[in-house]
A and B are shown apart, each in its own frame.
Chain A
Amino acid sequence: MTIALVSTAVVLVGVGLLVTSAPGWDRVRETYFDWEDAKAAFPEIAKAFWVNIKAFLVAEVLILALAMLVAVVRVVPSAWMAPLKVVATVYTDVFRGTPTLLIVLLVGFGVPTLGLQGTPTDPFWLGVIALTLSYGAYVAEVLRAGILSVHPSQWASGRALGLSYGKTLRYVVLPQAVRRVTPPLLNDFVSLQKDTALLSAIGVFEALRQAQVYSARDFIFTPMVVAAVFFIVATIPLARFTDWLSLRAARRQSGAA
């Protein structure tokens, strides 16, 4: 314990000294870590970060719905689902293989160009759709892996009670599958929270975009660091929540009801 503390302190102090003694440190401090600049940028970035939170929360719900649908379609062993299965498989292959930034750009600029009646033109919603499409493919695969990890005897037990395929899936298999994949799912959502910054590329006024405005005007990067701090602080509760859930799951498994 003490060894861990001491060695950590030594390393941190060493790195700190090394960085601050670098010849360019004063300039770095001025452009990246200026306290006055940080204070000045804080209120606007905080307001803009609310857009990131909103995009995250909305996308999260849509992603779960889409991913669940895709995962179930791919798992169900039914012949008449075959065409849907092809669609679901192509979807996951395409959207998992395409960089998220590219999808944001394609949806953000492509869909309005189509000019179809009823399609959204608000960059925020286009961005949310792009994130949903991209992350939906990942999350669908995570859920599918979870479903397949549930032992066939659980299916047999549910069906033997007279539950239909759908009810067995709903009450017996999915709850177990979701529990198993919750840690990797939350990990994906931590990543999603950060990727809301990609919406800046299609003109959504979120935290990164707001910071860029300052940088472009005053040639300072402290607002970027402020934005970074916002993202970090926002992901920490989610990370701790993941830890707590895993712990609880482990405790449940070991018997305490």
Chain B
Amino acid sequence: MSALLDARAVRKTYGAHDVLKGVDLSVAPHQVVCLIGASGSGKSTLLRCLNLLEVVDDGEIWFDGREITDPRVDVDDVRRDIGIVFQAFNLFPHMSVLDNVTLGPRKTRGVRRRDAEERASALLTRFGLADQVRKHPDALSGGQQQRVALVRALAMEPKVLLLDEITSALDPQLVGEVLEAVRDLKDAGMTIVMATHEMQFAREIADEVLFLDDGVVRERGAAEQLFSAPRDPRTREFLGRHLG
């Protein structure tokens, strides 16, 4: 199967700090790839590189048949097809939930307001947010806000969804509802790259798991294999600490 998203030897440096030291990542359509690793291992940076929020210093990223790290590429055009959800939700606080969701389709794809709102309402309903449509983000719980952020990304009908530790800022009792939403998306066939600390969830949902350590992929493999029989001692140590 040919890859939808393909990162080759990606490097990213902040000053003297090498955050990514040549990372390869290949995601096939409808696949879920989980990135695990300690804070600072480069998971978030890799995701931000994938949708060009960060400029890579070296290496290539291919998406949907073209090299998006080519400087001549229209970054806005690429990002419309790559959704991302952040750890801190980052909803637009001055807009209602509905406007948060419709802004992208209306202003980047020229969708008419009525059509955009109809679609947004359907998506919000699907994720249990029908009653929150007119509210402002601050009136919502963390779990609701994060689901709105998911819907906002989905409203663009992305070909791939990047999830950057989307449950890390949530109260423990709210994590479940957000993970449930991710599971729904996988079942619907969405292609997902997910950085996460939820090991149990990664094990259940991932087709492939990458263990990032100090800017390199220390180990990669099928979820079952990597979690039950890690080969690299660093992976074993990390999982030992996180699976308890």
Contacts and interface: CB of A to CB of B under 8 A. Distances in A.
B139 A163 contact: no
A257 B76 contact: no
Contact of B76 (A153, A162, A171, A254): A162
Given A156-B86, A157-B86, A164-B76, A257 B96 contact: yes
Contacts of B156: 161-162
Interface string A139-154: 0000000000000011
A172 B93 CA distance: 9
A253 B139 CA distance: 8
Contacts of A179: 94
Interface in A197-221: none
B236 interface: no
Nearest to A170: B107
Interface string A218-257: 0000000000000000000000000000000000111111
A154 B92 contact: yes
Interface residues of B, number: 30
A134 B108 CA distance: 38
A161 B79 contact: yes
A257 B100 CA distance: 14
B232 interface: no
A96 interface: no
Contacts, number: 70
B51 interface: yes
B175 interface: no
B136 interface: yes
Interface in A74-106: none
A176 B104 contact: no
Contacts of A184: none
Given A156-B90, A162-B77, A255 B136 contact: yes
Given A156-B90, A176-B93, A161 B104 contact: yes
A153 B88 CA distance: 9
A159 B79 contact: yes
B53 interface: yes
Nearest to B96: A257
Contacts of B92: 154, 157-158, 172, 176
A160 B79 contact: yes
A175 interface: yes
B152 interface: yes
B134 to A, nearest CB: 6
Interface of B: 51, 53, 75-80, 83-84, 86, 88, 90-94, 96, 103-104, 107-108, 134-136, 138-139, 152-153, 156
Interface of A: 153-154, 156-164, 167, 171-172, 175-176, 179, 252-257
Given A162-B76, A254-B138, 15 more contacts: A153-B86, A154-B92, A157-B91, A157-B92, A158-B92, A159-B79, A160-B79, A161-B79, A161-B80, A161-B104, A161-B108, A163-B104, A163-B107, A164-B76, A257-B135
